[in-house]
Chain A
């Protein structure tokens, strides 16, 4: 029994690295593979939407990587390949959404929000300084008393 387990475990181990070698690298040229990797990081996998196709092992991501690889081999530029994907899958396929009328809020929103918060904070701080300054000023009466007290102290010393 133990032998059986051992042999099963060993054969699984023997299979694992073989499997790893089958993983996607298909282009022999490392320069092409680097570009595939780079473009893959710019493209969203639509099956598993929070992954890019470089990371994803979904069937579709594999196919799209194959497409990218072939198009690079055919001499297409990065721009052309991204356009090819957008033509078919829409802007959503780009991991970094393009700046357009419909995405202005997405790009500018955080900065607008930051601006509003800074403005509100500035106003509040200014108001507080004014109030503090008002609380610090003494009336003519109080000033006289303060002077008298200070003078009195000096005398006592």
Chain B
């Protein structure tokens, strides 16, 4: 009898693994940057090319860095949510305008709303490499000391914001 149960057991175990695999997101690659200082850079702002932005400017604040581009379809998808979030004034958001033309970016913000305190213009994507960006949009939570605490790859959803991002921000702000 056990001769026949063996393959069945094996099948059940394998099927279990495969079934669990259906609900994993292969795009969610753990970032080695979590818990480390935000990479230093200084780059021109999108809206004011004569001014620069550096993460050091945000010391003492909990802030979100959102990587976006006008060519990025998923960014368009999550954008209304960010605009809503900005209206509540819960958290300061800085955009990293990734591999995009200045004009296209400015037009996009004019068309769909600008939730950002400002956007840093990463024209050639070099800053994004330092952040390990591989799929826009990406959102980083950075604490008062300038340490990256969380990273989300892909568009934010209302549920994700409510259950994951906002609680993390509240916790960081309370500490």
Which residues of A are interface residues toward B (Cβ below 8 A)?
46-47, 49, 59-60, 63-64, 67, 86-92
Question: A59: which of B31, B33, B99 is its contact (CB, 8 Å)?
Answer: B99
User: How far, in Å, is A82 (CB) from chain B's closest CB?
Assistant: 13
From B113-121, B129-137, B163-171, the one touching the partner chain is B129-137
Instruction: Assess the B134–A90 pair: CB atoms within 8 A.
Output: no
Select which of A59, A63, A92 is within 8 A of B29 by beta carbon.
A92
Among A60, A67, A91, A92, max chain B CB count under 10 A is at A60
Q: Tell me the nearest residue of chain B to A59, going by C-beta.
A: B99
Count CB-based A-B contacts (< 8 Å): 37
**Are A46 and B129 in touch, CB under 8 angstroms?**
no
Query: A10 → chain B, closest Cβ, in Å?
Result: 32
**Taking A67-B129, A88-B129 as contacts, is the C-beta distance between A60 and B31 under 8 angstroms?**
no
Say whether B60 faces chain A, with CB atoms less than 8 Å apart. no
Give B70 Cβ to nearest chain A Cβ, in Å.
14
Q: Which of A88, A91, A92 contacts B33 (CB 8 A)?
A: A88
**B134–A89 touching, CB < 8 Å:** yes
A108 to chain B, nearest CB (A): 18
**Interface pair B31/A46, CB less than 8 Å apart:** no
Choose among B26, B29, B134 the residue with the greatest number of A CB atoms under 10 Å from its CB: B134
Interface on B for A, CB 8 Å cutoff?
26-27, 29-33, 99, 124-125, 129-132, 134-135
Q: Contacts A49-B26, A60-B134: A86 and B129 contacting too (C-beta < 8 A)? A: no
Of A47, A63, A64, A90, the contact of B31 (CB 8 Å cutoff): A90
- Other A-B pairs beyond A47-B134, A88-B130, 7, CB < 8 Å: A46-B135, A49-B26, A59-B99, A67-B129, A86-B32, A89-B29, A90-B30
Task: Provide a sorted-by-A list of 7 A–B residue pairs whose CB atoms are within 8 angstroms.
Answer: A46-B29, A47-B134, A59-B99, A63-B124, A90-B32, A91-B32, A92-B30
B-chain residues with CB within 8 Å of residue A46 when the two chains form the complex = 29, 134-135
Q: Known interface pairs A46-B29, A49-B26, A63-B125. Does A89 touch B132 (Cβ–Cβ under 8 Å)?
A: yes
**Partner pick for B135 among A47, A64, A86, A87, CB 8 A cutoff:** A47
> Would A64 and B129 count as touching, CB distance under 8 A?
yes
A59 to B135, CA, bound (A): 11
- Rounded to whole angstroms, the CA-CA distance of A63 and B128 in the bound complex is 10
Closest-by-CB residue of A relative to B124 is A63
**CB-based contact A89/B125 at 8 Å:** no
Give A63 to B134 CA distance when docked, in angstroms: 11
